[in-house]
Amino acid sequence: MMLMVTLTEGGKAEGKVKRMCAPTWSVDAYRTYLTVLFSTSIMAPGIIIGFLYTRLARTYLESQRNPPHKEKSKRSPRQKVLIMIFSIVLVFWACFLPFWIWQLVRLYSSSLQLTTQTQKCINYLVTCLTYSNSC
């Protein structure tokens, strides 16, 4: 098995040598890798989830053709189910899409003029947003 990383040693901090693994891929190979990863792990599942939940909502609506008994609730159970289905799909996209857009923008945009500190903050925020989907 071929590993595409190299171990680099940086300066000393608190008397210890900092070591870090860094990819050895070419820029084009890394772009291709991240683009394929985005397509197969976010876009395809997101489209499939959206399609399946749309079918679920459609099936649910068809099963509820007979109007339910009048209730005093402002929203019918039918509306609640549709809102929940829409929310699931929306939360998936809202949590994962910013992270991947940020990764791809950094990779494909050569004119990104942000300070290192700003890039770190954006990276931290979109990473936290991605992890929040698991909560």
How far apart CA 122 and CA 116 sit, in angstroms, is 10
Q: Is residue 79 part of a domain?
A: yes
For residue 18, being part of any structural domain is answered with no
Q: Read off the pLDDT of residues 24-33 as tens digits, 9 standing for 90 and up.
A: 888 888 889 8
- d(Cα 12, Cα 19) in Å, to the nearest integer? 9
Note the pLDDT tens digit of each residue in 9-27.
877 777 788 888 887 888 8
Angle, alpha carbons 98-50-35 (nearest 5°): 45
Number of structural domains in the chain: 1
Q: Is residue 4 part of a domain?
A: no
**32 in a domain, yes or no?**
yes
Rg of the chain's alpha carbons, rounded to an integer? 23
- Determine phi and psi for 5, rounding to 5 degrees: -135, 160
Q: CA 85 to CA 25: how far, in whole Å? A: 41
Q: What average pLDDT does range 65-91 have in this prediction?
A: 72
7, part of any domain = no
12 inside domain: no
Give residue for tokens 């699931």: 88
Is 21 among the domain residues?
A: no
pLDDT value at residue 111: 81
The verdict on residue 19 lying in a domain is: no
pTM: 0.65
Q: 3-class DSSP state for residue 113?
A: coil
